[in-house]
Amino acid sequence: MQAMTYRAYGTPDVLQLTTITRSVPEAGEVLVQVHAASLNQADLYLLRGEPWVARLSSGLRRPKRPTLGADVAGRVVAVGGGVTEFQPGDAVYGDLAACGFGGFAEYVCARAEALAPKPASLSFPQAAAVPMAAVTALQGLRAAGPVEAGERVLIHGASGGVGTFAVQLAKSMGAHVTAVCSARHVEQARALGAEHVIDYTREDFTRDSRRYGLILVVNGRRSLAEYRRALSPRGRLVVAGGDVGTIMQATLLGPAVSIARGVRVRGLVARPSRQDLMLVGHLLDSGAVVPVIDRCYPLGELPEAMRYLASGHARGKVVITMEQAGQ
Ligand SMILES: NC(=O)c1ccc[n+]([C@@H]2O[C@H](COP(=O)([O-])OP(=O)(O)OC[C@H]3O[C@@H](n4cnc5c(N)ncnc54)[C@H](OP(=O)(O)O)[C@@H]3O)[C@@H](O)[C@H]2O)c1
């Protein structure tokens, strides 16, 4: 089978289209014919081996896993021993980050628990755009407590993979959503349900008088103190992405800041969850949430797709489609 592989950390140029042997599913595994996969920032970290902490799981000197790709959608081809929830022919999707990646290939063996039935209303490319970004957004919104109906929720970085889901999920929870993005994404944020949109190139939300019950930081480069200034009394701040220093501060100092300042501050480490993916799946099938896809590339153009994601300005998700995929 064809797969995009790499043998050394580096730029997207180290990725090569290679013919490799198709794996046979072991007990608890499912062999999936991948129809589409999507890119995440995690793929870029593992491609570059940076930040350095990414190498702890993927190999200190060179990558142990030759094929990246966490988010996949496809059809079950075979199941290993003990797998009862799927059978050949089932359409599935999932996030393989906790079970070895490997989605940028025509076939991948995945742990059954990483997969869920594909929402019937979505095409394979749409489904591949969902797992990691949507589950991160969902877990981020509730990491410091549930969102309440009518609560003011601000999403800092509302236009990329995670941000477009965060706006819609917050809206589906009944929040009054403020989206922070650049001017070229203002209309999209409104269309996804944001009541109020702030262009970060012209306005500084940490300096106006509006206060928020929850700020979810997806992308952005502000300090903890600046974010805290925009919180209402007993407000919650969850830092999922953006500036590495702010993520570390939120993770390490969050509990102390929370006690000292009467707010709740958390750094987020999202984890793949079938339960959360199923919850998102229902919202997708109901039409309350839609995946936003910026660009699709064929498998052989993964390096170009990676370069585009690395530009930091993707509008929603970047998706890889397989030529053999029947939609
Ligand atoms: N904590 C976790 O477990 C977890 C899980 C998944 C992802 N993440 C992190 O979440 C972050 C976002 O991931 P993603 O997949 O959504 O990335 P992404 O799709 O690459 O994000 C691209 C978007 O970010 C926006 N952006 C760039 N700079 C910005 C700024 N200064 N202020 C506001 N928006 C800005 C861009 O909009 P413009 O073009 O308008 O600037 C673009 O639409 C990454 O840091 C990723 O590592 C964390």
**Atom of ligand 1 lying closest to residue 40 CA:** 15
| 239-294 pLDDT, tens digit each | 999 988 899 999 998 888 888 788 999 999 999 999 999 999 999 999 999 999 99
CATH of 2-129+292-321, one of 3.40.50.720, 2.170.190.11, 2.170.150.20, 3.90.180.10: 3.90.180.10
**pLDDT, average across residues 47-67:** 93
pLDDT tier for residue 131 given thresholds of 50, 70 and 90: very high
DSSP state of 72: E
* Ligand 1 mean position, distance from CA 218 (Å): 5
Pocket test for ligand 1, best of 38, 39, 40, 41 (most atoms within 8 A of CB): 41
pLDDT tier for residue 324 given thresholds of 50, 70 and 90: low
User: How high is the pLDDT of residue 115?
Assistant: 98
Pocket test for ligand 1, best of 162, 184, 222, 239 (most atoms within 8 A of CB): 162
The residues spanned by each domain of the chain are 2-129+292-321, 133-267
Residue of the CA atom closest to atom 45 of ligand 1: 241
**pLDDT, average across residues 35-55:** 95
DSSP state of 185: G
**Atom of ligand 1 lying closest to residue 309 CA:** 20
Q: Identify which of 95, 33, 36 has the alpha carbon closest to the alpha carbon of residue 70.
A: 95
| 185-227 pLDDT, tens digit each | 999 999 999 999 999 999 999 999 999 999 999 998 899 999 9
User: How high is the pLDDT of residue 327?
Assistant: 39
Q: Identify which of 34, 46, 25 has the alpha carbon closest to the alpha carbon of residue 1.
A: 34
The encoded tokens of residue 157 equal 């970085």
Residue of the CA atom closest to atom 46 of ligand 1: 241
User: How high is the pLDDT of residue 260?
Assistant: 79
**Atom of ligand 1 lying closest to residue 45 CA:** 47
Instruction: Ligand 1: list residues with CB < 6 Å.
Output: 40-41, 132-133, 136, 157, 159-163, 180-182, 184-185, 200, 218-221, 240-242, 268-270, 309, 312-315
* Ligand 1 mean position, distance from CA 99 (Å): 24
What CATH topology corresponds to 133-267?
Answer: Rossmann fold (3.40.50)
* Ligand 1 mean position, distance from CA 129 (Å): 15
Helices (H), the chain: 41-48, 55-58, 124-128, 131-142, 161-172, 186-191, 224-229, 244-261, 274-286, 302-310
Residue of the CA atom closest to atom 20 of ligand 1: 312
Q: What is the pTM of this model?
A: 0.97
* Ligand 1 mean position, distance from CA 66 (Å): 25
